Amino acid sequence: MTSRADRIEALLRQHFTPAVLRVADDSHRHAGHAGARPGGQTHYSVLLVSDAFRGQARVARSRAVHALLDGEFAGGLHALALTLRTPEEHAALPESAA
């Protein structure tokens, strides 16, 4: 059985062909909060750098990711902290912010 993080990563790789992708399970930080479950796998942060975001506003990028992961939300995913950039936006940041 694959973890939710693995499924999220696979979907994002398949759809966005990322230059950079990091998916982190942050569920342990949300224990006792709304949407948290004892088994975790409810809260994630994602850094996704992709050419697919070129020409898209931040809201459009977020909507595209949320739509792609709709099945995960239906299955217990509660929250995503998204950082969505083009390769140029990512390269322009200091290394500490990457």
DSSP per-residue letters across 73-89: HHTT--EEEEEEE-HHH
Do the Cβ atoms of 51 and 87 come closer than 8 Å? yes
DSSP per-residue letters across 24-77: EE-GGGGTTSTT--TT--SEEEEEEE-GGGTT--HHHHHHHHHHHTHHHHHTT-
Domain encompassing residue 90: 4-97
Domain total for the chain? 1
The tens place of each residue's pLDDT in the chain, 98 residues long, gives 689 999 999 999 999 999 999 999 987 564 556 555 555 578 899 999 999 999 999 999 999 999 999 999 998 888 899 999 999 999 999 875 65
Q: What mean pLDDT value characterizes the chain? A: 87
Do the Cβ atoms of 61 and 16 come closer than 8 Å? no
Quick one: what percent of the chain has pLDDT higher than 70?
Answer: 82
CATH of residue 17's domain is 3.30.300.90
Q: Of 83, 84, 75, 81, which is closest to residue 44 (Cα–Cα)?
A: 81
